[in-house]
Structure 1
Amino acid sequence: MDAEGTLRERLVDAGVELVLSEGSGSVGLREIARRAGVSHGAPRRYFPTHRALLSAIARRGFEELGARSVAAASETASPRAQLAALTRVYVDYARERRGMFELMFRHDLLDSAGQSEAPAGPRLREATLPMFQRVVELVARCRGEAAESSAALTAAALWANLHGIAQLWSWGSLQLAVGGSPGAEPADSPDRIIEAALDAHLGPAAS
């Protein structure tokens, strides 16, 4: 990687650290420059707008979540087990990297019409599609369907369910609802709720 590429990566690294420690609302070009040890005008060479900077940071999140998902799914064989692994990775990622998770799905903040603002590769607005398509494929296989069109709605409902679990758990609401207390995680974690969501959308797993 050349010096220009290295500096750009340093700026993104600083942005990732800032998002993880203080949330996406705290990310600004000047603070990124300060943390990266460069002049306050340097980030403008790579990120002409705040949206471009946030998009580059969010891309890192999608890369990390994707790598975790691939690793988890590779450890099991059946479609149902692979889907269960992906759902747990998704919720665990949301709990562990809350600021990044929130940023990744704020499509109103990420690159859309402004192609020139985006780094190389697909627009961030489209970055969720490969992950969603994988869920659709696994849902179809779990239900023994050759076509995936009818599985898309089920996959979308499951995804929405998981996103809600991730958010409500981070706020402490689910712990309270199932008998715990906000801020004090029950011993069984969200796993039983995730299993219930899978059963609700796919039916109980075969014994």
Structure 2
Amino acid sequence: MSEDAGVRARLVAAGVDLVLREGQSAVSLREIARRAGVSHGAPRRYFPTHVDLLSAIAREGFADLTARVGMTMRDAGPDPRARLTALGRTYLDYAAAHRGMFELMFRHDLLASGRLGLRETSLPLFAVLVDLMAQVRRPTDAAAPVLAGALWANLHGIAQLWAWGSLPLATGAADDAALLRAALEVHLGLTAN
């Protein structure tokens, strides 16, 4: 690895650590530089804008989430319904355990910026969901991408509203398992574990 690539990787790693420990609002170029052990001007040499660095950090989050989804889906076996349940559970667990990263990954300004191919990093995970929906949809159902989008919106809404405390308050649920089960049942008549 070249020295430039090494500094770049250290900056991203420091940013990932900062987001995971303190949330996305704690991210500043100066703090990332301090944690990476480089001058406060170094981030600008490797990332022309703050959005570039945030996008690189978010890419790491998508890579982590995609790897986790892949692992849990392999463990779920070949049944697409079990795999959808595993994907949903992993998504919600990731959102709860990595709140700052989850929020950063789905910031519209980062996704819309086109920086560092962030959209291209997030779309393969959606493609997995589309593929699973295509396997379980009935001929009379909407197209698989539409079904996948609806389920994703439902999962994302559960993750956000749970983190904000709105769903526990409104539903009295002690955890999000019943909500995952209900989301899968509503969308496909699936049963979540």
Correspondence 1:172 to 2:158? no
Q: State how far apart, in whole Å, the 2-side matches of 1:179 and 1:195 are.
A: 15
Corresponding position of 1:138: 132
Q: Tell whether 2:67 aligns with 1:70.
A: no
Partner of 1:79: 80
- The separation in 1 between residues aligned to 2:112 and 2:15, in whole angstroms, is 16
1:93 corresponds in structure 2 to 94
- Which residue in the other structure is 1:157 paired with? 150
Separation in 1, partners of 2:43, 2:90: 33
Letter in 1 for 2:169: L
TM-score scaled to structure 1, two decimals? 0.85
1:107–1:124 Cα contact (<8 Å) kept: no
Amino acid at match of 1:125: R
Give CA-to-partner distance per residue, 1:158-190, whole Å, 9 cap, x none. Answer: 00000000011111111112225xxxxx2xx21
Structure 1 residue aligned with 2:31: 31
1:190 aligns with 2:173: no
Task: Give the Cα–Cα distance (whole angstroms) in 2 for the partners of residues 32 and 71 of structure 1.
Answer: 30
Which residue does 1:47 correspond to in 2? 47
SS in 1 for 2:13: helix
Q: State the AA in 1 paired with 2:72.
A: A
Indicate the residue corresponding to 1:128 in structure 2.
122
Question: How many Å apart are 1:26 and its aligned residue?
Answer: 2.2
SS at structure 2 position matched to 1:108: helix
Cα distance change of structure 1 residues 126 and 149 upon mapping to structure 2, 3 Å threshold: farther
Structure 1 stretches (4+) deviating beyond 4 angstroms?
none
| Residue of structure 2 in register with 1:11 after alignment | 11
Gaps (5+ residues) in structure 1? 181-185
Give the deviation of 1:144 after TM superposition.
5.4
Cα deviation for residue 141 of structure 1 reads 0.8
Q: CA deviation at 1:128?
A: 2.2
Q: In structure 2, what is the equivalent of residue 104 of structure 1? A: 105
Normalising by structure 2, we get a TM-score of: 0.91
Q: Could you tell which deviates more after superposition, 21-30 or 153-162?
A: 21-30
Q: Pairwise CA RMSD of aligned residues?
A: 1.9
Q: Which moved more, 1:13-22 or 1:80-89?
A: 13-22
Cα 1:204–1:38 change in 2 (3 A) is: closer
- Name the CA distance, whole Å, in 2 between partners of 1:126 and 1:56: 12
**Mapped partners of 2:47, 2:9: distance in 1:** 12
1:96/1:20 CA distance change after superposition, 3 Å: same
Q: Report how many residues are paired.
A: 190
Unaligned runs of 5+ in 2: none
Which structure shows the bigger proportion of residues in helix conformation? Answer: 2
